[in-house]
Amino acid sequence: MKKIGVEEKGIQIMLPKSRNITLKIKDLPYPAANILKQQMLSVGGECAVSKHALLNSGGKTDVLLIGDKRHYSVLIEKLKNQYFALDELGEEIRKFINSENKKRIFRCRDKYLDLSEKTYIMGIINVTPDSFSDGGKYKSVDEAVESALRMVDEGADIIDIGGESTRPGAEPVPLEEELNRVIPVIKKLREQTDAVISIDTYKSEVAEEALKYGADIVNDISGFHFDKRMPEIVLKYNAGVILMHIKGTPRDMQKNPAYENLVEEIIDYFAYSIDIAKETGIDNGSIMIDPGIGFGKKWQDNYLIIRYLKEFKSLGYPILIGPSRKSFIGYLLDLPVEERLEGTISAVVCSILNGADIVRVHDVKEVARAVAVADAIAGKNKKFYEEI
């Protein structure tokens, strides 16, 4: 509009009409759904409900709202005096609409990541003998630290350190053994870099020790489901937290995982995890979600997660995605772990274009180059667009 010379006041009027937003609301009682439909139609939007809702008073229906920001703005006002908790629904809609305009900063202790600037890269350091891709790679603390520092030089913003394999079928590692694997690496790495350090663990004891020695983020594969003390530790140290979705445990997660609605069930899981975080007092700006590629999913499910990644934006939190070298790539291409780089890069780029904020990978140098190009295409690379 600016390029064709539209007046500023005109831009302000027309811009809210330029993009439709479709929202899905689950399990709304028929009377509430009918009121919502009437109100949305009255402001010029659209509302889809079950045909049974129009003829019956008992039962529930999912609802699809379709409109632009102007429609939703008027609808929210109309819902303020309605019954069936529609005023609360209006407030949730308002929060979602407004969240799209906020500057997105992820806070982890005394560090701040501006997620509008670029896609951040998390490099993987597994100090384990049995991880699916790089188990047994590091024979000493020095080797692990050297590899982490090399990743930072190659473009990693975050180093994720794990001491327990969570590959399908993996057995739990005793607490002391996990501590002995990760703490020396974190301690030495922190002495040599200011890069963000993440501890990949679902054990609160490991998380606390890691945070004491300089970790900034807790990457919990269970999303606060395995260890009830974990939220308190995150709060105590003002750490960032990554809440991942998993169906089952690493030991049994790949035994015929099934979903009625893949994305909805993952969102419901996140909603529970986020409620725990909020009740504990964890800062909203310190929470990130990860749909858990390969954790309790059929291989085809992982492609659907990446395809519909934008759906998770409805929760209002940054998204991390971890497709690196995983079996969903191997199944499709019939390739072993060590030959999945191109598939990993494809998954990373598609994830960025669909809304990923952080990508977790083994091959930092190669992925960093692909991320720079993807960011330029996605409009995240400010320098690129400032020079046009």
What single letter denotes the amino acid at residue 292? G
Structure tokens at 24: 């899905």
Residue pair 305/263 in contact by the 8 Å Cβ criterion: yes
Task: For residue 326, indicate whether it is catalytic.
Answer: yes
Burial pattern 326-359, b for ≥16 Cβ within 10 A else e, equals bbbbbeeeeeeeeebbebbbbbbbbbbebbbbbb
Question: Quick one: DSSP state of residue 311?
Answer: G
Report strand pairing: 358-361 vs 320-321.
parallel
Residue pair 20/8 in contact by the 8 Å Cβ criterion: no
Residue pair 257/298 in contact by the 8 Å Cβ criterion: yes
Nearest-angstrom CA–CA distance, 294 and 247: 10
Structure-derived torsion over alpha carbons of residues 180, 185, 188, 192, reported in degrees to the nearest 10 = -170
Q: Where are the alpha helices (DSSP H) in the chain?
A: 8-14, 30-42, 69-79, 86-99, 141-154, 175-192, 204-212, 230-236, 262-280, 299-307, 327-333, 341-353, 364-378, 382-386
Nearest-angstrom CA–CA distance, 269 and 267: 5
Indicate which residue of 203, 340, 360, 380 is catalytic: 360
Residue pair 182/199 in contact by the 8 Å Cβ criterion: yes
Residues forming beta bridges with residue 361, ordered by sequence position: 123
Indicate which residue of 203, 247, 325, 326 is catalytic: 326
Task: For residue 360, indicate whether it is catalytic.
Answer: yes
Handedness of CA 210, 319, 377, 70 (dihedral sign): negative
Nearest-angstrom CA–CA distance, 55 and 325: 52
Structure tokens at 346: 């494809």
Provide the angle, in degrees to the nearest 10, between the axes of the packed helices 341-353 and 364-378: 30
* Catalytic annotation, residues: 326, 360
